[in-house]
Amino acid sequence: MFFLNLALGQLLVSAAAISAFTVALYLLDRSRRRQVVSTLRFWTQANQPVQTSRRRMIRQPLSLLLQLVGILLLLLAIAQPRIGNPFSRPGYDVLILDTSAWMSARAEGPPLIDTARKRALQWLSAVPSADRVMLVRADALATPATAFESDHSRVRMAIAASEPGATALNLNAAIQFARRAQAMQHASGEVAYVGSGRVLSAQDEGVVDGKGLRFISVPDQIEDVGLRRASVARSATEAGAWDVSITSRNYGLHSHAVNLNVGFDHAPVGARFMTLAPGAEQEAAFTLHATQAGLLEMRISPDDGFPDDDRAEILIPALPHLKVTVYTARPDVVRPLLAANALVEAQFRSPEQYRTDRHDTDTIWIDPPADLSPVRVMKTVGDPKGIRVAGLQSRDMKLGATSILVTSPEDTTLASVDDGPVIVARPGVHKTVVVGFDPGTAATRYQLAVPLVFANILRWLNPETFQQGGVNLQAAGSVAVALPDEGTVEVRRADGSAVPFSVDHHTLHLFSGSRDNLRVVTAGRQQLYALTLPEMWDARWEPPAGVVRGLPRGANVTSPPREVWPWLAVLGAACLIAEWILYARLRRARLTAVPAPVQLRRVS
């Protein structure tokens, strides 16, 4: 037996002081008292001879004994004695359960997570019942599922509710987290890891020591060939086409020959037969011709023990088109300039066909007559030089006869010469661009700057059509995106909610713990990231020295020290109540009880 609140000396001193005080009160309660009474008539007859020698004696020893015993028992209850070993302080154990994406793999039997749950429950049943246990679910993040619970049934329920996530395991971080949790409790205990030990190569935390660490491994001899990443970008060489690049990897221990099939909206796009050595990656490229939106599906066959990375789908957005009406007297000269871009759908008309109510597209006017031009022509000059276009200045370019235009405040000058604007853009529901010279004349036909001028005109009409971008398929977890452009960066989910990120040396870093679709928008560029692949491991965790392996042998039936203070409190209260009933209440009842009236006989 040991005392939690009082040392033995303190207990004895307190008991002696209280006992002395109780005895003093007892004797004082029974000392002589002076009372004023109405008459001494009846006292004389009921008087007992005074025995002063008995004044200080205990006349109700049982009453005093009950009081003393009751008070001592209550004092003992306050001391909170316990039966057992005082040094068997309960441990604070942490169970790290591997919930990485790999735990959903299966060889032939149940998935790895089922085996891990079973091993975790076995470990929990072997933990001393007095220990407090915290469950930490570990993937890329260490997430505590319970606090330090003395009720192990709650931990069992949390273990049963654990499911694999979408990211790879960062075990060192999880162990460091467990150690910090134990340190906050100022207690020691065991950190038990249950899992396959497949971790990312880049661990956030440093190497941990193996003291107090237990590794309960889950066997995972599983062959897996899966998709590593994929990217879909607009073709740089072919308008209306997408360049699809798919990388596969063999995570198994043996070489595997697999088929990679790619389809778009249930139509086959291509297939590759690959033979992958253990740990090898191979990239396959495809070209997708699609201007409409659709679902790009990629699949690796045959199936293996980890089907989550055998198949993926990404949504390809529709390619935007620019419809434009060109008013020119010589459409044959201008047509090659616009037909070079498949995203531009041009309709050619002569200036005489111009009618304002027929506008349902943007319009480009090529050297319009002064009387028909939507922008007023100031004058016509012979051969101005030194055209200045946004981002381009060509002093040698010859324009021939050129109309100098008059701009209004809302107009934008896209190109100008020394005499004034020569290309003016006018905003509106349908935008209008007026070119004051003819690019098909002999002077300008072979100028290199002419296609750039028209590229600027088309970009101004509809910038989204010419915006660069693509779709990337990769695993959830940490994502790093190179940022070539300066300016604002915006990262949003499919539902429009913002995603926190950081930018370091033109590289955007963000983390997604679950499968998600993100959109990264920078100036002039939009990248879609489908983080739908599971994050895979890179290496097997090597337990440091001192790690205990396997389940503890046999159930630890060490029982905690038993609390006896409730029984002492009940006994003490019972003693005091018994004393009160026997000596206080009954005495008071005798005092207040009115005896039966005296039967009187009527004297006649």
Partner 1 sequence: MAEPLLDRQFLEKLERLTIYWQKSFAGLVGGHNPSRFAGGGQEFLDHRNFHQGDDLRAVNWRAYLRLEKLFLKMFQIEPRVPVQILLDSSASMQGAKFDYGRKLAGSLAYVGLVRLDTLAIVPFSSRLGEAKRCGGGRHRFSPVAAYLTGLQSGGKTDFYEIAKEYMSSRPQRGLLIVISDFLDDRGCERALQYLADFGHELSLIQIWNEEDRVPPWSGELELVDAESNEEMRVEFDDVARAEYTRQFDEYSASLKQLALRNAGRYVSVPTSRALEDVLFDDMIRARGVA
Positions in the binding site for partner 1 (CB under 8 A): 30-52, 55, 59, 587-588, 590-593, 595, 597-598, 600-603
**Minimal distance in Å, beta carbon 575 to partner 1?**
22
**Minimal distance in Å, beta carbon 26 to partner 1?**
11
Three-state DSSP at 74 gives helix
State whether the Cα torsion 519-522-524-527 is positive or negative. negative
* DSSP symbol at 382: S
Among residues 22 and 235, whose Cβ is nearest to partner 1? 22
Among residues 35 and 502, whose Cβ is nearest to partner 1? 35
Among residues 48 and 497, whose Cβ is nearest to partner 1? 48
**Minimal distance in Å, beta carbon 601 to partner 1?**
8
Residues in the chain: 604
**Minimal distance in Å, beta carbon 18 to partner 1?**
23
Tokens 């007992």 locate to: 48
Residues 399 and 437: beta-carbon distance below 8 Å:
yes
Give the tokens for residue 44. 């004389």
Separation CA 130–CA 145 (nearest Å)? 20
**Minimal distance in Å, beta carbon 33 to partner 1?**
6
**Residues 40-47: contacts with CB under 8 Å, at least 24 apart:** none
Among residues 53 and 488, whose Cβ is nearest to partner 1? 53
Helix (H) or strand (E) holding 565: helix 565-579
**Minimal distance in Å, beta carbon 576 to partner 1?**
20
**Minimal distance in Å, beta carbon 36 to partner 1?**
5
CA angle 185, 191, 196 (to 5 degrees): 150
Among residues 497 and 599, whose Cβ is nearest to partner 1? 599
Q: What one-character-per-residue DSSP string does 100-116 give? A: SGGGG--SSSS-HHHHH
Alpha carbon 574 to its chain's center: 57
CA angle 485, 487, 489 (to 5 degrees): 90
Nearest to 367 by CA among 345, 350, 383: 350
Three-state DSSP at 154 gives helix
Among residues 41 and 254, whose Cβ is nearest to partner 1? 41
**Minimal distance in Å, beta carbon 594 to partner 1?**
8
Tokens 């597209």 locate to: 361
Among residues 39 and 221, whose Cβ is nearest to partner 1? 39
Tokens 């701009």 locate to: 407
Helix (H) or strand (E) holding 73: helix 61-79
Among residues 49 and 484, whose Cβ is nearest to partner 1? 49
Among residues 32 and 266, whose Cβ is nearest to partner 1? 32
**Minimal distance in Å, beta carbon 585 to partner 1?**
14
Residues 152 and 547: beta-carbon distance below 8 Å:
no
**Minimal distance in Å, beta carbon 597 to partner 1?**
8
**Residue 237: is it exposed, middle or buried by C-beta count within 10 angstroms (0-12/13-18/19+)?**
exposed
- How do 213-217 and 548-549 pair as beta strands? parallel
Residues 178 and 187: beta-carbon distance below 8 Å:
no
**Minimal distance in Å, beta carbon 574 to partner 1?**
25
